[in-house]
Amino acid sequence: MPQPDVAPLSHVLAALDLTQLEDTMFAAPSLPFFLGRIYGGQVLSQAMMAAGRTTPDDGDGPRTLHSCHGYFLRPGRIDSALLFRVEILHDGRSFSTRRVHAIQHGKPILSVIASFQETQPGRDHQDQAPEVPDPETLPSVMELFEANPDPTAQFLARTGAFDIRHPAGDVFMEPAGTVEADQRVWMRARGTMAEGASQLLHRALLIYACDQVMLEPVLRRHSLSWGHEGISVASLDHSMWWHRDVDVSEWFLFEQHSPSAQGGRGLGTARIFDQSGRLVASAAQEGMVRVPEDTEG
């Protein structure tokens, strides 16, 4: 169980330090989570670490993680360790492709394919970052959690590995004041990254952070909050593309949108910029979003 006197990020870093059992088999612990099931971002980030540790190094450094596409198949149990089985699908001159299954009690709970690339020159362009208030001028949701006696809020204040700051206000306990399809949110790791930490680790931590906020634009579009009575939200799938190097110890900005929700599912998309305006990643996630009012009557 994470302790209050230890930086929250350190527990995530320990969980990402996988134990290699065989050439393509790894073991990892599960972290506590208030919902009683494994946090999806945890198992996704661990899968990226497992995949990355099987990719070749041709002498100029390891191949860089640039995309992944995964499905959450079953809820994971926080009281059981995880196995990660990596399948080597392809190693070419420029790209390597891996399939990873995260397994508990003999059954897969996540299936994901990830692609890695040799560093290469090429054309370069990106969309411009939006103008938003500086994160240091905004309140942190950690302050909200610390001031709330609710056990879930206290758990998040103690264990949340990333500081989260919403320019337009959060949707944790109460819905947003206006109905919008878009959201912007700043995030930064709550802890120190070792100097020279690999891009694989930074990129795995970014996907860890993503899963916390990817469905919030769906909530905003329907005047919902995480605290809505009886709400049930779960990630169904996740896709991510890393465009440029990432440093999670610095602030990064999510520019998010929800284009659709239907049938108890909602889609959230994100463009992720660093504080200098570089587009470092893009992501998309569909999730189950159910509220009791939709099935009453």
Q: Which of 212, 235, 256, 258 is catalytic?
A: 235
Residue type, 2: P
**Catalytically annotated residue among 104, 183, 199, 211:** 211
Q: Which two tokens stand for residue 238?
A: 């996740």
Specify the 3-state DSSP secondary structure of 283.
strand
Q: Which residues of 19-58 are buried (b: 16+ CB within 10 A; e: fewer)?
A: eeeeebbbebbbbebeeeebbbbbbbbbbbbbbbbbbeee
Q: Which of 257, 71, 34 is nearest to 145 (CA)?
A: 34
- Of 30, 115, 199, 285, the active-site residue reads 285
Residue among 69, 125, 80 nearest 106 (CA):
80
Told to judge if 117 belongs to the known catalytic residues of this protein, a careful annotator would answer no
286 CB-side CA count, 13 A: 12
Dmax (CA) of the chain: 64
Respond yes or no: is residue 285 known to be catalytic. Answer: yes
- Active site (catalytic) residues: 211, 235, 285
